[in-house]
Amino acid sequence: MKRTHTNGFTLIELLVVIAIIGILSSVVLASLNVARTRGADSSVKAALKQMQTQVQNYLDSNSNLGVSVATCASGVFADTRFSEIRANVLANAAPGATMSCATDSTASKWAVGVSALKGGGTWCVDNSQGWFKAGTVDTVNGVCQ
């Protein structure tokens, strides 16, 4: 007796479908990683913008920024309203990222920068230029450069 018709898929058909699914999933995962990186960098930029607003609020409330500082743990940046923002920035930056904070000698200018974003580069925000992609924070003059 001869079989003329079989039900089901051949091995080749199954392997082709599995290969197509594998290729599609690798494309989707690569796109998700790019989106995740951009999202983390956007979160850092948003936190820096929030830092800009909070420093301005502090300045409005206290008439000055206090003492000249070159660290994120002293002066105006030691205020409790900044601790959550600092934590958010460092949580969303790449591992080993650093955050630089500075005011000038008169404590009237300030700048905050974050290095090692997941997408690469450094972002900086200050009270004279707004926020932008930059090299470093000038800890003497309290500006982005």
Report yes or no: 138 and 123 within 8 Å, Cβ to Cβ: no
Q: Which helix (H) or strand (E) holds 125?
A: strand 122-126
| Confidence band, pLDDT 50/70/90 cuts, at residue 140 | low
| Distant-in-sequence, close-in-space partners of 139: CB < 8 Å, separation ≥ 6 | 70, 100, 102
Q: How far apart are CA 91 and CA 93, in angstroms?
A: 6
Q: How far apart are CA 100 and CA 21, in angstroms?
A: 46
* pLDDT 10s digits, 18-66: 999 999 999 999 888 888 888 888 888 888 888 888 888 888 887 777 7
Confidence (pLDDT) at 12: 93
> Mean pLDDT score of the chain, rounded to an integer?
80
Residue with tokens 């930029």: 45
Residue 114 amino acid letter: V
Looking at the predicted structure, is the pLDDT value of residue 112 above 90? Answer: no
* pLDDT 10s digits, 61-84: 877 777 777 777 777 788 787 888
> Is the model more confident about 138 or about 78?
78
Confidence (pLDDT) at 16: 96
Whole-structure pTM value = 0.69
- List the structure tokens of 51: 């830092």
Residue with tokens 């007796």: 1
Domain residue ranges of the chain, discontinuous segments joined by +: 11-144
